[in-house]
């Protein structure tokens, strides 16, 4: 079963931490994007993380339903089935969920996992993200502690964030925040560790200038050493075993040198969405442009069914998105490191 069990997911994270590599965590919205992710991980011989945002879930549920949690369940169940055909491990994760959406998004997904476990299966998702960065750190941690307790009871890992990822992506808009909010302090990292470590396993999105979206080179000023300094504050006080599993948000378009540097400081997961969205859409545009007379019924003509059949361009989109995700696995050094069959 290539969707990782809780034990296998923990082993994936441990292997990445020990081996100084990280997993691409790619947002999906459809069967086609799921297939692109699975193809990429299999071709790269890399384990990986497939994740669903609230917007992605809402889209997948259809225009008439528009239910983020329901759509996320549909995508997750489809991934469980499709992944059985592959020989790599993938974990299922949900992306940013603000406090206002916990009851409508996270809680139904935890209940879906609870029902799955009662039926003798594993949890539906292997991890979830609670984004409490929009409230004070004290309130963030209080809510994180309650959610982590509930997740731990289901063998689910919780991702938390302190500091804030800038920019806008899929309904997550923090573009108006002051610059200092984009950088997590060592004191914040120590406080997060001491609040959550006694409860259960978590992964931590510490921010170091990360910004969602697409930018020209040099526009985003990352400071990876913030991760180093925060980890040092934690391990100096609590020992080497306290090294935290960190997450890199806003990874699309980042310099390779910054990406590789974060691996030295404990990053085990990097989110990628903007770049894979573009990789998916670009060949569709080319297809339309090169086959415009067949795609459109111009001047009363009948067009060409072979070119306006959605499969003709979605296959190209799947292939190109997979190629971009393979590049991400190479950038993160996770290629050829699958632990499938060893745990």
Tens digit of pLDDT per residue, the chain (343 long)?
Answer: 699 999 999 999 999 999 999 999 999 999 999 999 999 999 999 999 999 999 999 999 999 999 999 999 999 999 999 999 999 999 999 999 999 999 999 999 999 999 999 999 999 999 999 999 889 999 999 999 999 999 999 999 999 998 755 444 455 444 455 555 568 899 999 999 999 999 999 999 998 886 655 545 455 578 899 999 999 999 999 999 999 999 998 777 778 999 999 999 999 999 999 999 999 999 999 999 999 999 999 888 999 999 999 999 999 999 999 999 999 999 999 999 999 999 8
User: Which residues, including other chains, have CB under 8 Å from residue 284's CB and lie 6 or more apart?
Assistant: 313, 314, 316, 317
d(CA 244, CA 237): 13
Catalytic-residue membership of 95: yes
Q: What is the reported pLDDT for 163?
A: 72
Enter the tokens of residue 315: 């296959």
Alpha helices in the chain (DSSP H): 6-19, 31-44, 54-60, 68-82, 107-118, 137-153, 186-196, 225-238, 256-264, 274-290, 292-295, 305-308, 310-331
SS (HEC) of 301-335: CCCCHHHHCHHHHHHHHHHHHHHHHHHHHHHCCCC
User: Which residues, including other chains, have CB under 8 Å from residue 104's CB and lie 6 or more apart?
Assistant: 68, 69
Burial class from Cβ neighbours inside 10 Å (0-12, 13-18, 19+) for residue 212 reads: buried
d(CA 202, CA 10): 10
Q: Are 183 and 226 in contact (CB under 8 A)?
A: yes
User: Which residues, including other chains, have CB under 8 Å from residue 209's CB and lie 6 or more apart?
Assistant: 166, 182, 183, 220, 221, 222, 223, 226
CATH class of 6-331: alpha beta
Residue ranges per domain, the chain? 6-331
Q: What is the reported pLDDT for 13?
A: 98
Q: What is the reported pLDDT for 213?
A: 52
Q: Are 253 and 275 in contact (CB under 8 A)?
A: yes
Burial class from Cβ neighbours inside 10 Å (0-12, 13-18, 19+) for residue 189 reads: buried
Length of the chain measured in residues: 343
Measured from the Cβ of residue 315, the count of other Cβ atoms closer than 10 Å reads: 14
> At which residue do the structure tokens 């040092």 appear?
232
Q: What is the reported pLDDT for 134?
A: 85
Torsion of CA 88, 112, 32, 49, to 10 degrees: -40
- Can you give the pTM of this predicted structure? 0.92
Q: Which member of 67, 95, 131, 273 is catalytic?
A: 95
Q: How far is CA 16 from the centre of its chain?
A: 15
């Amino acid at each position: 079963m290539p969707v990782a069990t809780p034990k296998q997911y923990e082993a994936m994270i441990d292997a990445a931490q020990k081996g100084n590599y990280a997993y691409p965590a790619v947002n999906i919205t459809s069967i086609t994007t799921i297939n692109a992710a699975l193809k990429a991980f299999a071709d790269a011989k890399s384990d990986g993380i497939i994740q669903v945002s609230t917007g992605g879930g809402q889209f997948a549920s259809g225009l008439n339903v528009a239910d983020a949690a329901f759509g996320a369940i549909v995508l997750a169940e489809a991934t469980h089935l499709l992944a059985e055909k592959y020989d790599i491990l993938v974990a299922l994760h949900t992306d940013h969920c603000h406090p206002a959406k916990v009851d409508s998004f996270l809680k139904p997904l935890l209940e879906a996992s609870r029902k799955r476990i009662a039926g003798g299966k594993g949890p539906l998702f292997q991890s979830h993200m609670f984004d409490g960065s929009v409230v004070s750190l004290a309130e963030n941690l209080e809510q994180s502690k309650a959610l982590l307790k509930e997740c731990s009871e289901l063998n689910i890992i919780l991702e938390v964030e302190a500091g804030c990822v800038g920019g806008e992506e899929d309904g997550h808009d923090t573009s108006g925040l002051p610059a200092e909010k984009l950088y997590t302090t060592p004191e914040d990292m120590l406080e997060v560790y001491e609040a959550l470590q006694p409860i259960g396993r978590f992964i931590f999105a510490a921010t170091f200038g990360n910004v969602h979206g697409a930018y020209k080179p040099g526009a985003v000023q990352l400071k990876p050493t913030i991760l180093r300094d925060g980890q040092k504050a934690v391990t100096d006080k609590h020992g080497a075993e306290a090294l935290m599993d960190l997450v890199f948000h806003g990874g699309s378009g980042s310099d390779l040198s910054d990406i590789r540097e974060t691996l030295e400081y404990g990053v085990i997961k990097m989110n990628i969405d903007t770049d894979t969205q573009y990789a998916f859409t670009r060949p569709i545009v080319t297809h339309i442009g090169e086959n415009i007379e067949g795609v459109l019924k111009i001047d009363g003509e009948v067009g060409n069914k072979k070119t306006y059949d959605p499969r003709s361009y979605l296959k190209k989109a799947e292939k190109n998105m997979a190629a971009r995700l393979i590049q991400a696995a190479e950038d993160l050094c996770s290629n050829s490191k699958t632990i499938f069959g060893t745990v």
